[in-house]
Amino acid sequence: MSQFPIHSKLPNVGTTIFTVMSALATEHHAVNLGQGFPDFPMSEELVALVNESMKQGYNQYSPMPGWLPLREAIAEKIAVLYNAMIDPDSEITITPGGTYAIYTALTTVLQPGDEVIIFEPAYDSYIPNVEINGAIPVLIDLKFPEYKIDWEEVKRKITPRTRMIMLNTPHNPTGAVLREDDIQELRSIVNGTQILILSDEVYEHLIFDKIPHESMLRYPDLRERSFVCFSFGKVYHCTGWKLGYCVAPAGFTKEFRKVHQFNCFACHTPSQVALASFLKNKDSYLLLGGELQQKRDYFQELMSHTRFTPLPSYGSYFQCYQYDRISNESDKDFSIRITKDYGIATIPVSAFYRSGKDDKVVRFCFAKKESTLAQAAERLSRI
C-alpha cells in the first residue's frame, strides 16, 4: 500500500466493460460491434475544410466559448429545426465532446446532497459525473422491452432535494426516443418547480422512420430550465475529434463557462473553422438519419437469419437484441464467450445498470461498413 493513500472520489468505478470488450476483440481478432464508432470514412469535404483552415493559419487558441462563426451556424440550424431563437454569443459553448459538456453542466449546478433522476440503462458517464460532485443519483428503470419512461414512478421519486432530471434521446444503449406524450408528461412534472433538465441529444440527427426529434429546444418552458448537449463526433462520424457543444440559457451558460474556462478553456480551432462552413450545407446533417437507417435495416435483415430477437431501434448507432433463444448465460458471460469463440464483440446491456440488471440483452453498433455488418452477421448466425 502506498504511504500516500488517495481516498477515491469514485470508489465504485473500475475498468469499464467497453475497455474489457475492446481488449478482448483485439486479442481474438473479433469483429467489433461493441463500441460506438464507425469504421467507414467521414466526409472528405469536411476533412478538406479542416486541412484548408490549418493552411490558412487557424492554428491558435479559439475564443473560450468557441469560434463565433460556428456558434452562429449552430444557432441558425436550431432556428430552422426547432423554431428556437438562440443567442450564439451568450447561449452556446463549444466543448471537447458531448460527454465533457454533460460533465461540465452537472458540475456547474450540483451541490452535495442534490438528487438527480437518471434512467437506466444509462450511458456510463452519468452516475459517476453525478457522484463526483457529491450529488445522489436516483435511478429509475426504463420499462422493458420498450425502454419507455414510467412517468408515474418519476413522480414518486421526486423529493424536495431533486435538482435535475437527465434525459437521453435518441437513447444509448437502446435506440429508444422520446415521443410527444413523454414531453407533455415532463412539462407537467417540472411545471412550477425548480427542477433543471440535462438533455443528452448527441444522436440528434441519427433518428429513423421519420420520427421527429423531441429536443428540449423545441419547447420554451423546457428550454429555459435545460442544458442541452450535442456532439459533432457522433453526427459527422469523427468521434476522435472530441468536439461538441452545450446550449443553455444565458444565466446557465455564464456559470457553465466559469467551469469550462478553468478546465479545457478552448477547443481545436481548425475543426471549428471547418464546421462553421460545413454546417451551411443543410444536407450535411439532414440526410444523416436516412443513411444510418439504411444500415440499421440492412443489419436487421442480416440478423433475421440468426437466433437473436431484435428490440426496436428508432435512433442512435445501436440496436439491442435478446439472446434468450440461444442461452441462459448472463449477458456478460455470453458477450465474452461469443467474442472468444465466434469472433464477434458486443456490449452486455447489464453494464448500463448500476445494479447489473440482466434481461439477456446485448447491444450491437451498426454504424459500420456493409462488409463489416455482413461478416458479423455471418458469425452470429453460427451461434
Q: What does the pLDDT look like over 83-134, one tens digit per residue?
A: 999 999 999 999 999 999 999 999 999 999 999 999 999 999 999 999 999 9
Least confident of 181-190, 247-256, 280-289, 304-313: 280-289
Phi and psi torsions of 342, nearest 5°: -120, -5
**Same domain assignment for residues 142 and 38:** no
**Same domain assignment for residues 317 and 251:** no
Residue 1 has pLDDT above 80, yes or no: no
State the DSSP H helix or E strand holding residue 266, giving kind and residue range, or none if neither: none
Residue 311 has pLDDT above 80, yes or no: yes
- Look at residue 37 in the predicted model and tell me its pLDDT: 85
What value does the CA radius of gyration of the chain take, rounded to a whole number of Å?
21
Q: Whose CA is closest to 289, among 363, 211, 200?
A: 211
**Same domain assignment for residues 254 and 108:** yes
**Same domain assignment for residues 188 and 65:** yes
Residue 19 has pLDDT above 90, yes or no: no
- DSSP string for residues in 328-361: -S-HHHHHHHHHHHHSEE-EEGGGGSTT----SE
Residue 208 has pLDDT above 70, yes or no: yes
**Same domain assignment for residues 137 and 267:** yes
- Look at residue 14 in the predicted model and tell me its pLDDT: 79
Q: Mean pLDDT over all residues of the chain?
A: 96
**Same domain assignment for residues 311 and 258:** no
State the DSSP H helix or E strand holding residue 273, giving kind and residue range, or none if neither: helix 269-278
**Same domain assignment for residues 217 and 290:** no
CATH of the domain at 34: 3.90.1150.10
Mean pLDDT of 285-299: 95
- Look at residue 3 in the predicted model and tell me its pLDDT: 80
Q: Which of 222, 255, 280 is the last residue of a domain?
A: 280
Range of the domain at 188: 57-280
Q: Which of 237, 258, 280 is the last residue of a domain?
A: 280
CATH of the domain at 211: 3.40.640.10
Mean pLDDT of 58-69: 97
Q: What does the pLDDT look like over 354-376, one tens digit per residue?
A: 999 999 999 999 999 999 999 99
Edge-first strand listing for the sheet containing 361-365: 309-310, 318-322, 361-365, 347-348
**Same domain assignment for residues 171 and 83:** yes
CA atoms within 13 A on the CB side of 35: 17
Mean pLDDT of 155-166: 98
Examine residue 157 and state whether it is found in any structural domain, yes or no. Answer: yes
Q: Which of 248, 280, 312 is the last residue of a domain?
A: 280
Q: How confident is the model at residue 2 (pLDDT cuts 50, 70, 90)?
A: low
- Look at residue 16 in the predicted model and tell me its pLDDT: 81
- Look at residue 267 in the predicted model and tell me its pLDDT: 97
Whole-angstrom CA distances from 243 to 122, 229, 271 are 21, 11, 8
Examine residue 5 and state whether it is found in any structural domain, yes or no. Answer: no
- Look at residue 266 in the predicted model and tell me its pLDDT: 95
Examine residue 308 and state whether it is found in any structural domain, yes or no. Answer: yes
**Same domain assignment for residues 205 and 86:** yes
What is the rounded (10 degree) CA torsion for 62, 64, 69, 72?
170
Cβ proximity of 364 and 349 under 8 Å: no
Mean pLDDT of 337-352: 96
How much is the pTM?
0.96
DSSP state of 249: -
Examine residue 6 and state whether it is found in any structural domain, yes or no. Answer: no
Q: What does the pLDDT look like over 215-273, one tens digit per residue?
A: 999 999 999 999 999 999 988 999 999 999 999 999 999 999 999 999 999 999 999 99
Examine residue 209 and state whether it is found in any structural domain, yes or no. Answer: yes
**Same domain assignment for residues 304 and 272:** no
Measured CA to CA, the distance from residue 128 to residue 133 in angstroms comes to 9
Structural domain count, the chain:
2
